[in-house]
Amino acid sequence: MKIKVLIAFLLTSYFGNPDIPVPKDKNIGEWQIRNGVLLEYTKTPQTDLAQYNWNIFYTIFPKKITQKYIKRLVLFTDGEDEKTGALGALNENNSEWQLLIDVTDVNFKSESGERRAQSIYTLVHEFGHLITLNNTQIKPSRKANQQPNEPYITIEGEALKNSYINLFVSEFWTGSLLSEWDTIQKKYCFTESKRCFEKLYGLYQENYTDFLTDYAAESPEEDIAESWTAFVLHDKIEDPETVAELKMNFFYQFPELVQYRQIIRKNLRRYIYD
């Protein structure tokens, strides 16, 4: 049976650009992170807000990987239920990353259980990008076009042969699916955003049992992040009937990811309440 997502909302992630475009009037501030510690150069209400949000992220996710990769926190808001969070590489070799959080959407103090659930979903999704696109998974490359039987090409570079995302694409983006998606990207997504979204939604509708959410059809990067999020937040599917359910179970073959799941689920308990 198809898994229903906790909340229907738009998650927007930006890749490969260290200067993620957040309008100045929506940018609350940015803070450097060193070894998991937010550096407070001046004490302000904005810094207090940054410290609060960083403490939540840092207490939920495995500290070793968080300390290793997250080097900057950016807080912004564009209103309710627009861009909820993002993750972007700060250098070309994907060894340093910045986390963006919309403080309107990611709100663990909210009285709304739905809002808190969305907050959890957003952070787990973004952590999924971190573990699938860092420098142990992707190598810098000047390749721009996907070739048959070659490792998957991301904006960050070329996926290593045994990387999570390359194995994921090799297993689930088979047949004409990857080439159809690539054609949509090249023909529409660099010039016509409305047509791009229409075509990607059409791709989802044509293959809806392959995806856990319509947003997953936006790219293999979003597909694996959405599947990772479902893997973390839901129980294992014992008898998967669809490709979407197989994607949820994909991560159980990696002991380190199963361990990450256990850590995250344990740490999330303090944030799940009625």
Q: Which of 124, 121, 74, 125 is nearest to 97 (CA)?
A: 74
- 251-270 per-position pLDDT tens digit: 999 999 999 999 999 999 98
Residue of 6 and 169 predicted with greater confidence: 169
How would you class 174 by CB atoms within 10 Å of its CB: exposed for 0-12, middle for 13-18, buried for 19 or more? exposed
**pLDDT category, 81, cuts 50, 70, 90?**
low
Q: What percent of the chain has pLDDT over 70?
A: 89
Phi then psi for 72, rounded to 5 degrees? -155, 140
Report the pLDDT value the prediction gives residue 149, as an integer from 0 to 100.
84
Report whether 113 contacts 274 (CB < 8 A). Answer: yes
Of 192-201, 211-220, 229-238, which range is least confident?
Answer: 192-201
- Given strand 27-34, what is the order of strands in its sheet? 37-38, 27-34, 70-76, 97-102, 85-89
Task: List, in order, residues 6 or more apart from 23 with CB less than 8 Å away.
Answer: 78
**pLDDT category, 175, cuts 50, 70, 90?**
confident
Report the pLDDT value the prediction gives residue 180, as an integer from 0 to 100.
93
The predicted model gives 32-37 an average pLDDT of 96
Report the pLDDT value the prediction gives residue 273, as an integer from 0 to 100.
55
Mean pLDDT of the chain: 88
Provide DSSP, 77-132.
Answer: --STTS--EEEEESSTTS--EEEEEETTT--TT-S-HHHHHHHHHHHHHHHHHHHH
Reported pTM: 0.89
- 102-137 per-position pLDDT tens digit: 999 999 988 888 999 999 999 999 999 999 999 999
Q: Which domains does the chain have, with CATH numbers?
A: 24-133 (3.30.2010), 139-271 (no CATH)
- 49-60 per-position pLDDT tens digit: 999 999 999 999
- On the question of pLDDT at 14 being above 70, the answer is no
Report the pLDDT value the prediction gives residue 20, as an integer from 0 to 100.
42
Q: What percent of the chain has pLDDT over 90?
A: 72
